[in-house]
Amino acid sequence: MKLIGTIALALVVIVASLLFIVSSICMVSGASVAGGRILGGVFALCCLGVIVGGMSLIARIHGKP
């Protein structure tokens, strides 16, 4: 159960991290419009929340008392 939980959480964190990176304007420049960029900022913040939450849970699962 611990292994499955760790793998699932790690995958969520990795996917969120990649999306967070992809959201950079450097990568999508030329394809974004002004409104899209603000949405991109909100999307990046959501990804950041998932990363921080996921890492906290992973640390809690593996933390030794």
Partner 1 sequence: MFPHYVNLWGKQIHPHLLFESLGYAVAFGVYLVLRRRFGDNVTAPTRWVVVAGAVAGGAIGAKLLFLFEDPQLTMRNLQNPAYLTGGKTIVGALAFGLLFVELLKNYIRLSRSTGDLYAIPLCLGIAVGRIGCFLTGLGDNTYGKRTSLPWAVDFGDGVPRHPTQLYETLFLVAFIPILYFVLLSISKRKDRSVRTVFVDGDAFKLFMVAYMTFRLLCDFIKPYPRIFLGLGGIQWACLLVLLYYSRDVARWLRLAGVSRRLSLRQA
Under the binding rule (CB under 8 A), the answer on residue 38 touching partner 1 is: yes
Q: Which two tokens stand for residue 20?
A: 């967070």
Under the binding rule (CB under 8 A), the answer on residue 25 touching partner 1 is: yes
* Rounded Cα gap, residues 56 and 34, in angstroms: 34
Under the binding rule (CB under 8 A), the answer on residue 56 touching partner 1 is: no
CB 54: neighbour CB atoms within 10 A? 20
* Rounded Cα gap, residues 61 and 54, in angstroms: 11
Under the rule (CB under 8 A), what is the footprint of partner 1?
2-3, 6-7, 9-10, 13-14, 16-18, 20-21, 23-32, 37-38, 40-42, 44-45, 48, 51, 54-55, 58-59, 62-64
